[in-house]
Amino acid sequence: MLALADLEAICMRESSTTAVLCLASASPRRRELLSSIGVEVEVRPVDIDETPSVGEAADAYVARLARQKAAAGVGPSSLPVLGSDTAVVCDGVILGKPRDQQHAAAMLRGLSGRAHQVLTAVAVSGPAGMLEACATTRVVMRDIAEHEIAAYWATGEPADKAGGYAIQGLAAIFIERIEGSHSAVVGLPLFETAALLARQGVPLWNGADR
């Protein structure tokens, strides 16, 4: 397994020389979402403790982690730094990444045939200080059969996903509807993110918005 320093070195080499933002995450989904709005990034993964505090509400939890990631990502470059965190919440319980197959199956059984919330916070540290926003999306899943749960785990997709599923991947067939931001469920609320980046002076659309 690659150490954080090794992963950071690889990501830095792959980052664009025209980067206008530092992304404090190794998530390819967040990088792709930013690229989709013309924001090229320098990737700088960070390692923070993501354990929820006792009694911490889900919105406060994701906001705290987003701020901590943005702060931890500040480095020698003068680029603004973006941190983000996503949590899946069902019945007031934060569902993290599954520990194993049994845990992932239990998560999907709990989400099957009902609605849950996905909260994604984003924080951007830059000339305007630390700016943050949070998007809450309601996701409704259809009933998921036991054989589908087992087959989905076998694909390998849910192993590193909050809530044990990826809406942009194979699990899309489980989603009946969403109310809110699709990009937030994927990993970054683009509407809120674009507003924060504009306030920090970060150009969008590869500078065509200027």
Question: What mean pLDDT is predicted for residues 158-181?
Answer: 96
On whether the pTM is more than 0.85, the answer is yes
pLDDT in tens, 40-55: 999 999 999 999 999 9
| Residue 204 in this model has a pLDDT that exceeds 50 | yes
Contact 131, 199 (CB under 8 A): yes
pLDDT in tens, 103-125: 999 999 999 999 999 999 999 99
CATH assignment, 4-207: 3.90.950.10
- 85 catalytic, yes or no? yes
DSSP string, 54-83: TT--HHHHHHHHHHHHHHHT--SS---EEE
Which one of 59, 85, 100, 160 is the catalytic residue? Answer: 85
